[in-house]
Structure 1
Amino acid sequence: MEKKSYTFEEIKQKLVNYCVYQDRCHAEVEQKMREFLLIDEAKEEIILYLLKENYLNEERFTRSYIRGKFYIKHWGKTKIKMNLKQKQVSERLINSCFDEIDDSDYEKTIRKIFEGYYSKQNGLKEYQKKTKTIKYLMSKGFEYEKIIDIFE
């Protein structure tokens, strides 16, 4: 199948639409630009345009990502941070945006997940149920210290 060729303005509009659809980080936009085989100057011009017009905003993306992954997917801070680093978001920005998660909501979520998962463990000894539940919470990205603080 032959790739369709686009003008610079068409590519720019496609990338605007890509950013408008949902918040994107720089790495996602650069990945999308690779599909169009642009020269470096064109890539730079498009990135600058997206930044200037506020279609591309790394802080807004990070805050939105943190809210979504915590409040919808119920991920812990460790897993969120790891995924944002894979998207090449700076650690300083990630740490400054974690205020999107309320501490009391964080504890409530750990408790809710712990109680739900713990109660489903049938036919196991008490320590096995607890160990399995703690491992599950850690796989969701919650910190071991926080889990233990809440349940000890």
Structure 2
Amino acid sequence: MFSFNLSSQEKEEIMVYLIDNKFLNEERFAQSFVRGKHNYKKWGKVRIINELKARNISSTIIKIALKEINDSLYFETFDDIAEKHWETILEKNLMKKRKKFCDYFIRKGWENDLIYEKVKELEKINN
């Protein structure tokens, strides 16, 4: 729109039209973003929330969008990828392995309490 050298009146009319006809919809964008980042990139809620905030999405819309993630599937997904990732870390030193595991999931935006509970569980199983 900005490259077409339109007047501010014309830009405003176009924006109103796009919003009225649901071409621009922050809630729909946020819901799609949440589904995609969780289902395909396996991001946790912390990272998803931070990324939406960085895109200036309101906290109300973020709360609505997070309902796209089923809680039981959220924890199931975490368990699955945590167990697989634990096996891929070849580090012999347990403290270094724990750090690599935790750092990975913190970067992915999973909650700290989930991460630390899971690492303790996996350490017990594998010792």
Structure 2 length-normalised TM: 0.83
Cα-Cα RMSD: 1.7
Aligned residues: 120
Q: Which runs of 4+ in 1 moved over 6 A?
A: none
The residue aligned with 1:72 is: 40
Choose from 64, 68, 72 the match for 1:96: 64
The CA distance in 1 between the partners of 2:88 and 2:107, in whole Å, is 17
Unpaired stretches in structure 1, ≥5 consecutive residues = 1-32
The residue aligned with 2:22 is: 54
Structure 1 length-normalised TM: 0.71
| Counterparts in 2 of 1:124 and 1:40: CA distance versus 1, 3 Å | farther
Percent of paired sites with the same residue: 36
Could you tell me which amino acid in structure 2 is paired with residue 111 of structure 1? D
Cα deviation for residue 140 of structure 1 reads 0.7
Unpaired stretches in structure 2, ≥5 consecutive residues = 121-127
Q: Is the 8 Å Cα contact of residues 98 and 119 (structure 2) preserved in structure 1?
A: no
The residue aligned with 1:111 is: 79
Could you tell me which amino acid in structure 2 is paired with residue 107 of structure 1? F
Could you tell me which amino acid in structure 2 is paired with residue 62 of structure 1? A
Q: Which has the higher contact order (CA 8 A, sep 6+)?
A: 2
Q: What SS does the corresponding residue of 2:43 show, helix, strand or coil? A: coil
